[in-house]
Each structure stands twice: as C-alpha cells, then as structure tokens.
Structure 1
C-alpha cells in the first residue's frame, strides 16, 4: 500500500502536472503588454513593406539575400519530403527573381487513373498524380510556414531572437557560395552586415525586428510566389500553378487557400509568442498594474539577453 494519499501526485507526474498548470495559467491571461503589442503592429506593417519591396524592381534586388534564404527554406522542404517519399532528386534551382524549382523523379504513378467522367479531358499530371507527389508539393508552403512561425515566435523575445539569428546567419552563408551574380552576392553581404550590427546593438534589442521581418517573409511565401508569376511571368512556376496542374483547381483558388492557411499560422505564432514569453507565474503581485508588469517583463528580458552570448 502506498504511504501517500491517493489524491497526492509525486515524482515525474507531479512535475508534469505543475508544468501544465503553469502553462494553463499563462494561457488564461493572454492580454499582450506594450512590448508585445508593438511587435504585432510591426509584423503587420512588415507584410506591407515586403509586399512592396518584393515587387518593385530596385527594391527587390536589395533584398535578394533574404529572398534567397526564404526560397532556400521553401525548396529544402520540398527536398526533405520528396526524399522521405522515395523520390530521386534531379536538380534544385534557387533564384531570387525566378523563384525556386526542385525536380524529383519517382513520385508519380506508374499507371494512369481512370477518370470518373468518361468525357473528361484530364492532363498528364492529373492522370498520374500520387499522394507522394501531392505531399512533396504541399511541403513547400507548409515548410515555409513552419520556418515563419518559428521566426515570428522567437521575435517576441530577445534571447530567442539571438538563437534564430544564428540559423539565419548560417542560412545566408550557404547561397553565397553559389551566387552567380554580383547583386545577389552584395545583397547577402549587406544582410549579414546588418544582422551582425543589430546583434551588437543594445544587447540585440533591435535584432528581433530583423528576425520578425524574415519570419513574415517566409510565412507568407505563397503571396510572393503567386505575385511573381502573375506580375513578372517568372521562369519557375509557382506551387499554386503546380497544384492546379496536378489536381485541377484554379490557380487563384489555390493561392487563396494557402493565403488563409498562412494567415492562421501567423495568428498562431502571435498567440504563442504572447503566451509563452510573459512574466513567469508567481512573479506578479495582485497590486501591480499592467504597465508595471510590462516594465518588469522588459527588464527580465533585457537581463537574460545580456547574459546570452553577451555583446558588451
């Protein structure tokens, strides 16, 4: 017979229960402080800025480095899922203006499907598509949303932004080895210089806006991918066009579908950042006002940022 009462939880189960209780306590108070409110507003403004910069001739060259990074993350998602589905990679193309293209063999069916409508005129892709091909194609936008979610989530905390900056730093160094145009090469150097400069300024306080910018750019990749094809008739077709060819729905319909999906992920990232990066339970006092709690959150975050890979 156990020496403890039946209602008392001990050991690892107790620790898990306490952790869950603290997380629920955080979720119960999801009101953002001033710091988090400013982050959400800046994220919405950044969407408009990227929308303009991505499609204006001169500005789209300036951000070529970041475009290569987010396009590379998108194509990496295609690559990973394609290999897991048993495909063979033929080629990978990452271009800041023409977009990306990953060609994988061995994913389509070996025998055609039988159309339900005997008078239908399906395309070759609609006859031979498979679940592996659809999963590999959908992995691009899903992977971009995952990267975007993580970056936006990290942007709500300076220390988390520093960790995300290390990933972006390495990710920018990969395309610089294969850059075949001086504009792309120069843009990557500028992006790296800005990243390093923000890291050493005020313990990385402004670095989180850089991470937020990359997160929004990656999360809403479907918007830039679709507009590139519509406005500039890029060489590599968008994934929306590929979905239309494979499953037979209009291109604009697929664009709306994936945009709504990206918007939901964006909302989830904001709520996750607001709920997780708050004053720890037990640190607030009933007599404290919301402004005082917000100030304590900022002070706690600055203190942690000064200790994580210190810049001064």
Structure 2
C-alpha cells in the first residue's frame, strides 16, 4: 500500500468504527425504550399519574361552577394568557399586525391579527360549492397563527406535567408560575381577580416551605393539566355560557369547514397523545427514589 493512502484509510476505519459504535448505542437505547424495560413507574410516579387524571375532572368542574371559577381566576388568566401569547408570537412571525388582545378569565381570550389573509379569493375545487368569506381568503399564515394557540398551550402543559415528576424541576416551574401570576395584576380590573391572584400566590409560597417543596409538584401538575387541555375548557365554556370570545374550534370551523365539535374532538385526541408522552417522559427521565429526590430538593433553594 502506498504511504499516501495509509492515513486516509486509518481515518476511514476510525470513522466507521465510531459510527458503528454510535449506531449500536442508539439501537440499544431504542430497544430499551420500545421494550419498556425501564418504564415501570414507582409509587411516587404512580401517584402523580393518578393525581393528573383526577385533576382533569376537578378542573372541568371548577372551570364552570360559579364560585370555584372565580377562585381559580388567577390560574385561568395564566392559562388564557399563555394561549393568547402563542397566537401573538406566531402572528408576528408570520408578518401580521396585532390589532388587539383580550385576556379574560370568563369570556376567554381573543387576539386579532391583520395582514394574514389572502388578498385574492381561492378558486373552489367544487364549482357548485359556496364557501364562506373566511374559507375563500384563508392562508397558511392564518391557519398557523390559529393553530399556535392550542399548540403553545400543549407545549407548556407538557413541560409542567413532565417537571411534576421531580421536586427540583417543580421548584423551577414554580418560579416561572410565580412571575406568570403577577403579570395579570397589570391588566386585572376587578377585585375578584386581585383576590384570586393573592390566594394563588399565597398557596404557591406556602407549598414551597412544606416538606422541601414536595407538594409543589401537584400545584405544577394542576396548572400543567389546565394548560394542556385548554381546548376542553375553551369548547365547554362556549357551549355552556355562550361567552363573548368564541373558541378556536369555532374559528377553525369558520376558516376550514367541519363542525366545531369535530375540531374539538381532533384537538382533544392530540392533547391526549401529548399528555401520554409527558407521562412516559417523566417516568423515563426521572428514575429516582424518594430519598434521592428529597435529598436533591433539600439542597436546591432550601427552605429549612
């Protein structure tokens, strides 16, 4: 073999060996994940999953009962705010101009963005069809901005539910929630909203000082479920109370066709898949015993 070809051959062999080792490692990791060898939840994680399912029913009731819906007004403002912020962000990225934004715990949210619809109407595929004005002028930018609300809520919900499987991660989320609850103070215009914000902040601070912040997991989990399944509260709220701001499902129906209930079911299936993914991610990543989590939590922003 000529001397000039020795070095390229050595490099080629080294790269081939490294690639093979990496592929074997990835294949082994994928096999462990698919075989669910390490996805058996411990008691700590099982209680978290059960609590998440119970919280779904609790939020569905609390969101719509007159007294309870006022008590959780601060959490509703936080959830609606995340949803509308997602609309706002994608709308601006798509080149739109924000006209107005409304965040209300009972009437829901509404973000109006101009400059996203087509300037010329679409030619219907069916010449006998009679599309609405919105269906004739919709654009990918308008659809992306509308989708961003539920997608953004699902991302935040996924992260909160995922972090609820670990005490330290829940403490980090609690700091985000703390400042997020203070933002509505700038826009609140009713004493009920102020009282709810003070109560929710007080509960959040009180849970921080108990048992190294262990109970914070359930606060974060509660808000995670509330954000993730926002489509349910949005749709049910519209059906029960005929709120001023229509749900995104109704806007999807107006823009793309299909009944409002069909869009609600489709987004609920999507959120259920995200919920399942968050649970499996939390179980797989936070493989710690109770003693290990308590030890870590006692050293991260300790309270005693």
- What TM-score does the superposition give when structure 1 sets the normalisation length? 0.89
Cα 1:147/1:131, change in 2 over 3 Å: same
Matched, 1:38 2:30: no
Corresponding residue to 1:53 among 32, 50, 62: 62
Q: Which secondary structure does the structure 2 equivalent of 1:272 belong to?
A: helix
Q: CA deviation at 1:176?
A: 1.0
Matched, 1:153 2:145: no
Give the aligned partner of residue 285 of structure 1: none
Cα 1:19/1:156, change in 2 over 3 Å: farther
Structure 1 runs (4+) greater than 4 angstroms displaced: 5-10, 13-27
Q: Which secondary structure does the structure 2 equivalent of 1:104 belong to?
A: strand
Corresponding residue to 1:176 among 185, 188, 194: 185
Cα 1:189/1:90, change in 2 over 3 Å: same
Structure 1: gaps of 5 or more residues: 280-296
Q: Distance in 1 between matches of 2:132 and 2:230?
A: 27
Matched, 1:306 2:298: yes
Give the aligned partner of residue 287 of structure 1: none
CA deviations on 1:213-264 (whole Å, 9 max, x unpaired) are 0000000000000001000000000000000000011000000000000000
Corresponding residue to 2:204 among 172, 195, 200: 195
Cα 1:24/1:181, change in 2 over 3 Å: farther
Q: Distance in 2 between matches of 1:59 and 1:84?
A: 37
Q: Which secondary structure does the structure 1 equivalent of 2:244 belong to?
A: coil
Task: Compute the RMSD of aligned alpha carbons.
Answer: 2.2
Q: Distance in 2 between matches of 1:216 and 1:146?
A: 11
Q: Which secondary structure does the structure 1 equivalent of 2:150 belong to?
A: helix
Matched, 1:240 2:240: no
Q: Which secondary structure does the structure 1 equivalent of 2:123 belong to?
A: coil
Cα 1:24/1:177, change in 2 over 3 Å: farther
Q: CA deviation at 1:119?
A: 2.4
Structure 2: gaps of 5 or more residues: 1-6
Q: Which secondary structure does the structure 2 equivalent of 1:55 belong to?
A: coil
Cα 1:193/1:21, change in 2 over 3 Å: farther
- What TM-score does the superposition give when structure 2 sets the normalisation length? 0.91
CA deviations on 1:5-28 (whole Å, 9 max, x unpaired) are 858649xx9899879967875763
Q: Distance in 1 between matches of 2:101 and 2:185?
A: 16
Which range is displaced more, 109-118 or 202-211? 109-118
Q: Distance in 2 between matches of 1:19 and 1:198?
A: 40
In the comparison of the two structures, how many residue pairs are matched?
A: 293
